[in-house]
């Protein structure tokens, strides 16, 4: 077993309740890979430690929908054997990783936390999974999410709720809540999530870990079960910025099977992440500091700006005038695309089929009625409405036009600054049950994250403090398209200084 793991686990499980364990230092993926390379630990030891931690903690947290113990241990053993015999191993050789359960994993159930796909075992791997396997990462399990990634609290899962490792009464955020919790509770040091409107960054913020949404097109969506195809993007969770950089480097790159995947070389993010940026200009938008922003979150954000000032950065005040339309625009576009993408689940081509029906139409509606949860149905209805003749121009088409204006705002902003800093959410993690019956309030909680998806730009969430209740607060940085290198370096500067 890796040294750090054993000590932390045994000391603190004896004396502290689970929710107080989190402020402990966690071993980063970069550090674990170093230990593997130096022979201080093995892939089998790390995989066993990860599976043991899942076993002991996940009954309380609910981060995982399934684990992959036997295959993971066999793979870990094969990697150790290869390393011992001097054969080449991949960049992530022996590193346990958790995957959001909306990415296809060959031979491993991929449910999207939906009854519709409860028994779906993909016959192929998503592009990111292929990349991870080439890098010799060890997939230990699939994590919980809001059904089909629709939600902001992971309470919309058809199977279980995920609890925040910092406080079991609070949500983990969503929709990639299981992946965020897995890292925050030290079950794996890294994981993958998907971000359509904040689903990596917001749970990262709520769970006190790093979460990165890449530029649209940077990572292939092949094998990611589609929610809103023009917004979806896969990205990493990690304990630290350097590990997120390394993971992005592994999963990014062109893939002809996703027509929106961009053919641009992948920079060596992990090699440059420690280089501070000279003459850094950090933008702040006046629209981001308005009513509704929790005072503690505002204070933590302003303190983060002081850190940047102390590092010699210039703080540039700017405006993103169309951001007030972002929520309406996002929920029209996302629901429209979802209604189209989810049409395939008809009980014939894909997914659950009702046991009893009287004719074909009845079979479709019974299958969809039983297979989808309330939030998914709400999105399908909203989307079909905004795409229907007579409403298309007024809703969907108008939303597309506003989307362009939102992107234009960012283009103008990035002419004046390198990164834009903001809160990741207006409050720290909210309580379980607090918003789940109020869809509009839940949608409003995405205010800081959805613009990046509409504009296609990258964004990262990094921990920047704790609330008086002891809950993590996240800082968001956003950068221009394909400027992940700059984004990661700016984030690393803050991480190091704080
Ligand atoms: N909360 C947003 C939604 O429900 C974002 C989800 C996501 O990024 N997958 O659509």
Q: What is the pLDDT along the chain (498 residues), one digit of tens a residue?
A: 333 333 333 333 333 334 434 434 589 999 999 999 999 999 999 999 999 999 999 999 999 999 999 999 999 999 999 999 999 999 999 999 999 999 999 999 999 999 999 999 999 999 999 999 999 999 999 999 999 999 999 999 999 999 999 999 999 999 999 999 999 999 999 999 999 999 999 999 999 999 999 999 999 999 999 999 999 999 999 999 999 999 999 999 999 999 999 999 999 999 999 999 999 999 999 999 988 899 999 999 999 999 999 999 999 999 999 999 999 999 999 999 999 999 999 999 999 999 999 999 999 999 999 999 999 999 999 999 999 999 999 999 999 999 999 999 999 999 999 999 999 999 999 999 999 989 888 998 899 999 999 999 999 999 999 999 999 999 999 999 999 999 999 999 999 999
For ligand 1, whether the C-beta of 211 sits within 6 Å is no
208 Cα: distance to centroid of ligand 1 (angstroms): 19
Residue to mutate, 143, 198, 230, ligand 1, most ligand atoms under 8 Å from C-beta: 198
Give the position, in ligand 1's atom list, of the atom nearest the Cα of 150.
4
| Class (C level, CATH) for 3-275 | alpha beta
49 Cα: distance to centroid of ligand 1 (angstroms): 32
What are the sequence ranges of the domains in the chain? 3-275
119 Cα: distance to centroid of ligand 1 (angstroms): 24
Place of tokens 């641009």: 264
231 Cα: distance to centroid of ligand 1 (angstroms): 10
Do residues 280 and 311 touch, judged by C-beta distance below 8 A?
A: yes
Cα–Cα dist 242/491, whole Å: 9
User: Catalytic: 199?
Assistant: yes
For ligand 1, whether the C-beta of 151 sits within 6 Å is yes
Give the position, in ligand 1's atom list, of the atom nearest the Cα of 194.
9
Task: Please state, in angstroms and as integers, the Cα–Cα distance from residue 132 to each residue in 104, 120, 368, 471, 492, following that order.
Answer: 13, 21, 33, 32, 24
Residue 274: CA count within 13 A, CB half-sphere: 4
For ligand 1, whether the C-beta of 334 sits within 6 Å is yes
399 Cα: distance to centroid of ligand 1 (angstroms): 17
Catalytic residue among 152, 157, 191, 199: 199
Cα–Cα dist 203/295, whole Å: 20
Cα–Cα dist 246/266, whole Å: 11
Do residues 303 and 497 touch, judged by C-beta distance below 8 A?
A: no
As given in the structure block, the two tokens for residue 209 are 């870990």
As given in the structure block, the two tokens for residue 116 are 């519709």
Give the position, in ligand 1's atom list, of the atom nearest the Cα of 145.
9
**Whose CA is closest to 271, among 436, 444, 126, 488?**
488
pLDDT at residue number 23: 37
The predicted model scores a pTM of: 0.94
Catalytic residue among 28, 50, 100, 152: 100
pLDDT at residue number 1: 31
171 Cα: distance to centroid of ligand 1 (angstroms): 15
Q: What residues contact 130, with CB distance under 8 A and at least 6 apart?
A: none
pLDDT at residue number 444: 87
For ligand 1, whether the C-beta of 214 sits within 6 Å is no
pLDDT at residue number 282: 98
Residue to mutate, 192, 196, 203, 232, ligand 1, most ligand atoms under 8 Å from C-beta: 196
Q: For helices 43-61 and 69-84, give the axis angle rounded to 10 degrees.
A: 160
Which residue's C-alpha comes closest to atom 10 of ligand 1? 150
pLDDT at residue number 14: 32
């Amino acid at each position: 077993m890796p040294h750090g793991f054993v000590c932390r686990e045994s000391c603190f499980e004896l004396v502290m309740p689970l929710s107080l364990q989190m402020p402990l230092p966690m071993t980063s993926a970069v550090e674990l890979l170093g230990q593997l390379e130096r022979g201080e630990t093995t892939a089998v030891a790390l995989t066993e430690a990860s599976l043991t931690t899942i076993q002991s903690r996940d009954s309380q947290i609910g981060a995982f929908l399934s684990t992959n113990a036997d295959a993971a241990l066999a793979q870990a053993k094969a990697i150790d054997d290869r390393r011992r015999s001097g054969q080449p191993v991949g960049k992530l050789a022996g590193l346990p990783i958790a995957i959001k359960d909306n990415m296809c994993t060959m031979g491993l159930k991929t449910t999207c936390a939906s009854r519709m796909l409860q028994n779906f075992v993909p016959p192929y791997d998503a592009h990111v999974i292929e990349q991870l396997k080439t890098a010799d990462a060890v997939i230990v399990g699939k994590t919980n999410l809001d059904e089909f990634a629709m939600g902001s609290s992971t309470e919309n899962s058809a199977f279980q709720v995920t609890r925040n490792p910092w406080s079991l009464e609070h949500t983990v955020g969503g929709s990639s809540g299981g992946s965020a919790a897995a890292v925050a509770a030290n079950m794996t040091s890294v994981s993958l999530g998907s971000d359509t409107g904040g689903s990596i960054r917001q749970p990262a913020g709520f769970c006190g870990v790093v979460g990165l949404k890449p530029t649209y097109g940077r990572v292939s969506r092949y094998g990611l079960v589609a929610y809103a195809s023009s917004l979806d993007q896969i990205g990493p969770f990690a304990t630290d910025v350097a590990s997120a950089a390394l993971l992005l480097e592994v999963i990014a790159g062109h893939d002809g099977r996703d027509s929106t995947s961009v053919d641009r070389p992948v920079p060596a993010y992990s090699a440059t992440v420690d280089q501070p940026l000279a003459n850094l200009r950090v933008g702040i938008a006046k629209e981001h500091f308005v009513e509704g922003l929790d005072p503690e979150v505002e204070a933590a954000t302003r303190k983060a700006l002081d850190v940047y000032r102390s590092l010699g950065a210039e703080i540039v005040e700017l405006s993103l005038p169309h951001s007030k339309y972002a929520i309406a625009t996002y929920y029209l576009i996302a629901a429209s695309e979802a209604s189209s993408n989810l049409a395939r689940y008809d009980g014939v081509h894909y997914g659950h089929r009702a046991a009893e029906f009287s004719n074909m139409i009845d079979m479709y509606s019974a299958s969809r009625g039983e297979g989808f949860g309330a939030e998914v149905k709400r999105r399908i209805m909203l989307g079909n409405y905004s795409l229907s003749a007579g409403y298309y121009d007024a809703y969907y088409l108008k939303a597309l036009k506003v989307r362009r204006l939102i992107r234009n705002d960012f283009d103008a902003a990035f002419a004046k600054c390198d990164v834009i800093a903001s809160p990741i959410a207006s409050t720290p993690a909210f309580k379980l049950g607090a918003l789940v019956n109020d869809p509009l309030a839940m949608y409003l909680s995405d205010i800081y994250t959805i613009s990046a998806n509409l504009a296609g730009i990258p964004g990262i969430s990094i921990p920047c403090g704790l609330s008086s209740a002891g809950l993590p607060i996240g800082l968001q940085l956003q950068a221009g398209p394909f400027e992940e290198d700059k984004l990661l370096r700016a984030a690393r500067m803050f991480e190091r200084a704080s």
